[in-house]
């Protein structure tokens, strides 16, 4: 496996030579990057439209809130199961094959959702969609690291941040407009033709960037990965539901305990299995990426940031709607400026990274992020919505200062043949850490709100303050990490991982 991958990225030929020379990105490779960015935008846009649609689906499909949860939980579970496998898949299949497979799965899932006669088929559609989405983001990251010259990676990662930020900003607004005037099916009806165009154009223009390997897939690793990451994410997602449901009985708690137990044990066995297999370069997820100290520190930083960010982002709408009595549209408008600011700042931040490295971005980013989370710990029942919007926007800018350098520095710390595994680790950590942050902060929010005295608004505010306190505490190590993560000078600095 290693030999084939190294041949495909030989320092004297193809994309690798472009990186070493530091010359401009050729038009052909640039076109591939833009197609992948467009496809990723469509996939993330689809995901962010669903949150607003859940109440409508509960009514239209005559399902309970617990059933409706599976439309998001099923998606998250599938992502957690598929992403760890992408490191192997991107080594084994060509760039074009991976792109066509990802967009075909996503388009098929979108079509099934559009034509779905009921809830069960809609859940199946979401699983199929997630399978394609899980491949697309690691493919984008791996391709970017392979073809983009080292001196331009920050700027390109800034464009990735536009996709990651603007799609969530547009998704809820688009969903709200469609739901106010048309059926929920139009959410998928709008996305489907865009996905099909991206599939058709990509199948024509995406070219292969390296030679695939032909190592057999280890079935036991796939099973352990599914049980480990799937069990962990499912268990974490159930924590919040158990905390929010006063009627949750012993069965719910037992399910939670079994899921987490199976996840932890399977994850341990999965890691042990990969250590054995990577000795002959046959690992499903090669853990030698963690031999790079800079990569490991960046991943730890990203994990802590995901815990704080996703947890706070989940509690904030609950606070706005249950305490400040904002409706769904107002809640979306409060979050919109921050998402737009994060996306628009991405390319500028990327250029700064290319010229000056990580510290000039990560240090102020970590300080601003932590400071705004501490400000959120002071909210009350009469806090102004405008104040929340301003703090959220500044928080988003702090996060923007962190995401682009972390994405770039982490993967640039690896040898080229490990890019696909590094991308898979990055995506997996985001999924698991995000689920942990959401579960922890929803649990704290629910428990404190239920036990606090005073009016419902005051109790909800107390719960929000307690949840934001968890996020603020989680953000403090980010300031320390910001001083030790560095920008690799070039590929020669990547840690040896033989």
pLDDT at 180: 67
Cα-based distances in Å from 469 to 57, 445, 447, 464: 33, 10, 14, 8
Q: Are residues 201 and 257 in the same domain?
A: no
CA dihedral over 36, 38, 42, 47, signed as positive or negative: positive
pLDDT at 367: 93
Q: Which among 227, 214, 224 has a CA at the least distance from the CA of 273?
A: 224
Q: Are residues 266 and 295 in the same domain?
A: no
Select from 174, 193, 215 the last residue of a domain. Answer: 215
Q: Are residues 128 and 267 in the same domain?
A: no
The predicted-structure confidence for 305-363, as pLDDT tens digits, reads as follows 888 887 787 788 778 877 888 776 677 777 778 878 877 887 788 888 888 888 888 89
**% of the chain residues with pLDDT over 90:** 6
Q: Which residues contact 23 (CB under 8 A, 6 or more apart)?
A: 149
Q: Are residues 303 and 256 in the same domain?
A: no
Q: Are residues 272 and 304 in the same domain?
A: no
Q: What share of the chain is helix, strand, coil (3-state, %, to 5)?
A: 85, 0, 15
Instruction: Determine the Cα–Cα distance for residues 195 and 113; give it in Å rounded to an integer.
Output: 14
DSSP code, position 487: -
Chain mean position to CA 252? 27
pLDDT at 207: 65
Query: How many other C-beta atoms lie within 10 A of the C-beta of residue 347?
Result: 18
Instruction: Determine the Cα–Cα distance for residues 432 and 78; give it in Å rounded to an integer.
Output: 12
Q: Give me the CATH number covering residue 480.
A: 1.20.1250.20
The predicted-structure confidence for 459-469, as pLDDT tens digits, reads as follows 888 888 888 99
Query: How many other C-beta atoms lie within 10 A of the C-beta of residue 20?
Result: 15
Residue 140: pLDDT band with limits 50, 70, 90 = confident
* Mean pLDDT of the residues in the chain: 77
Q: How many domains does the chain have?
A: 3
Q: Which among 169, 163, 172, 161 has a CA at the least distance from the CA of 393?
A: 169
Q: Which among 311, 384, 372, 382 has a CA at the least distance from the CA of 338?
A: 372
User: Which stretch of 80-89, 93-102, 126-135 has the lowest confidence by average pLDDT?
Assistant: 80-89
Q: Are residues 79 and 228 in the same domain?
A: no
Q: Are residues 203 and 155 in the same domain?
A: yes
Q: Are residues 376 and 254 in the same domain?
A: no
Q: Are residues 15 and 63 in the same domain?
A: yes
Select from 280, 302, 331 the last residue of a domain. Answer: 280
Residue 364: pLDDT band with limits 50, 70, 90 = very high
Q: Are residues 22 and 133 in the same domain?
A: yes
pLDDT at 278: 79
Name the residue range of residue 129's domain: 1-215
The predicted-structure confidence for 64-91, as pLDDT tens digits, reads as follows 655 666 777 677 778 878 877 877 777 7
pLDDT at 214: 66
Select from 215, 234, 250 the last residue of a domain. Answer: 215
The predicted-structure confidence for 222-277, as pLDDT tens digits, reads as follows 888 888 888 887 777 776 566 555 445 566 677 778 888 888 898 889 889 888 88
Q: Are residues 193 and 318 in the same domain?
A: no
Q: What is the CA radius of gyration of the chain?
A: 22
Is the model's pLDDT at 490 over the cut of 50? no
Q: Are residues 276 and 292 in the same domain?
A: no
In 3-state terms, what secondary structure has residue 75? helix
């Amino acid at each position: 496996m290693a030999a084939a991958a190294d041949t495909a990225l030989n320092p004297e030929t193809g994309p690798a030579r472009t990186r070493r020379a530091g010359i401009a990105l050729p038009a052909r490779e640039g076109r591939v990057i833009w197609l992948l960015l467009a496809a990723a935008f469509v996939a993330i846009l689809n995901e962010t439209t669903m949150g607003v649609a859940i109440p409508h689906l509960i009514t239209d499909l005559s399902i309970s809130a617990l059933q409706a949860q599976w439309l998001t939980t099923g998606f998250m579970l599938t992502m957690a199961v598929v992403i760890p496998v992408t490191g192997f898949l991107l080594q084994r299949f060509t760039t074009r094959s991976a792109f066509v497979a990802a967009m075909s799965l996503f388009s098929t899932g979108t079509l099934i959702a559009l034509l779905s006669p009921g809830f069960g088929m809609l859940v199946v559609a979401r699983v199929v969609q997630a399978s394609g989405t899980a491949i697309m983001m690691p493919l984008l990251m791996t391709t970017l690291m392979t073809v983009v010259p080292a001196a331009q990676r920050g700027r390109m990662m800034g464009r990735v941040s536009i996709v990651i930020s603007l799609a969530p900003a547009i998704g809820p607004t688009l969903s709200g407009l469609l739901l106010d005037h048309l059926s929920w099916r139009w959410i998928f009806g709008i996305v489907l033709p865009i996905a099909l165009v991206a599939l058709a154009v990509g199948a024509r223009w995406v070219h292969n960037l390296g030679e695939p390997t032909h190592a057999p897939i280890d079935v036991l690793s796939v099973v352990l990965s599914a049980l480990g990451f799937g069990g962990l994410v499912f268990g974490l997602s159930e924590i919040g539901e158990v905390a929010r449901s006063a009627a949750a009985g012993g069965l719910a708690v037992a399910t939670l305990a079994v899921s987490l137990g199976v996840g932890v044990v399977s994850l341990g066995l999965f890691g042990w299995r990969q250590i054995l297999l990577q000795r002959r370069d046959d690992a499903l997820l090669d853990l030698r990426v963690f031999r790079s100290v800079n990569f490991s520190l960046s991943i730890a930083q990203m994990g802590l940031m995901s815990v704080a960010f996703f947890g706070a982002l989940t509690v904030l709408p609950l606070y706005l709607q249950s305490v400040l009595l904002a409706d769904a549209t107002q809640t979306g408008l409060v979050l919109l400026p921050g998402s737009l600011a994060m996306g628009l700042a991405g390319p500028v931040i990327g250029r700064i990274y290319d010229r000056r490295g990580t510290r000039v971005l990560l240090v102020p980013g970590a300080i601003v992020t932590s400071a705004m989370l501490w400000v959120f710990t002071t909210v009350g029942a009469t806090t102004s919505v405008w104040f929340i919007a301003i703090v959220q926007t500044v928080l988003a800018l702090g996060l923007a200062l962190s995401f682009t350098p972390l994405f770039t520095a982490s993967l640039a710390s690896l040898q080229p043949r490990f890019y696909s595994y590094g991308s898979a680790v990055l995506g997996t950590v985001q999924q698991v850490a995000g689920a942990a942050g959401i579960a922890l902060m929803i649990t704290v929010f629910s428990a404190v709100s239920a036990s606090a005295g005073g009016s419902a608004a005051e109790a909800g505010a107390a719960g929000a303050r307690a949840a934001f306190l968890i996020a603020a505490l989680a953000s403090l190590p980010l300031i320390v990490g910001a001083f030790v993560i560095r920008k690799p000078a070039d590929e020669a600095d990547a840690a040896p991982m033989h």
